[in-house]
A and B are shown apart, each in its own frame.
Chain A
Amino acid sequence: AQKVTQAQTEISVVEKEDVTLDCVYETRDTTYYLFWYKQPPSGELVFLIRRNSFDEQNEISGRYSWNFQKSTSSFNFTITASQVVDSAVYFCALSFTGNQFYFGTGTSLTVIP
Chain B
Amino acid sequence: KAGVTQTPRYLIKTRGQQVTLSCSPISGHRSVSWYQQTPGQGLQFLFEYFSETQRNKGNFPGRFSGRQFSNSRSEMNVSTLELGDSALYLCASSPRGYEQYFGPGTRLTVT
In chain A between 51 and 110, which residues have their CB closer than 8 angstroms to a CB of chain B?
52, 91, 95-106
In the assembled complex, the CB of B42 is this many whole angstroms from the nearest CB of chain A, namely 4
The answer on a CB contact under 8 Å between A101 and B33 is yes
Provide the bound-state CA to CA distance between A19 and B104, in Å. 27
Question: Given that A43-B88, A43-B104, A43-B107 are known contacts, is A99 also in contact with B94, CB under 8 Å in the complex?
Answer: yes
The answer on a CB contact under 8 Å between A100 and B48 is yes
Q: Which of A37, A44, A99, A104 contacts B55 (CB 8 A)?
A: A99
Which chain A residue shows the least CB distance to B31? Answer: A99
A3 within 8 A of B: no
Chain B residues touching A, majority SS: strand
The answer on a CB contact under 8 Å between B42 and A45 is no
* A100 / chain B contacts, CB cutoff of 8 Å: 33, 45, 48, 56
**What number of residue pairs across chains A and B have CB atoms under 8 A from each other?**
63
Annotate B81-111 by CB proximity to A: 1 below 8 A, 0 otherwise: 0000000101010100111111111010000
B78 within 8 A of A: no
The answer on a CB contact under 8 Å between A44 and B105 is yes
Annotate B55-72 by CB proximity to A: 1 below 8 A, 0 otherwise: 110000000000000000
Provide the bound-state CA to CA distance between A95 and B43, in Å. 14
In the assembled complex, the CB of A43 is this many whole angstroms from the nearest CB of chain B, namely 5
Annotate A20-47 by CB proximity to B: 1 below 8 A, 0 otherwise: 0000000000000101010000111111
Which chain B residue shows the least CB distance to A103? Answer: B43
Which chain A residue shows the least CB distance to B56? Answer: A100
Question: Given that A43-B88, A91-B43 are known contacts, is A101 also in contact with B104, CB under 8 Å in the complex?
Answer: no
Instruction: Using CB atoms and an 8 Å cutoff, list the residues of chain A in contact with chain B.
Output: 33, 35, 37, 42-47, 50, 52, 91, 95-106
Q: Which 6 A-B pairs have the closest CB atoms?
A: A45-B102, A103-B43, A44-B104, A105-B42, A33-B98, A97-B97
Given contacts A47-B101, A91-B43, A103-B43, 11 further A-B contacts (CB under 8 A): A47-B102, A95-B100, A98-B56, A98-B97, A99-B31, A100-B48, A101-B92, A102-B45, A103-B35, A103-B42, A105-B42
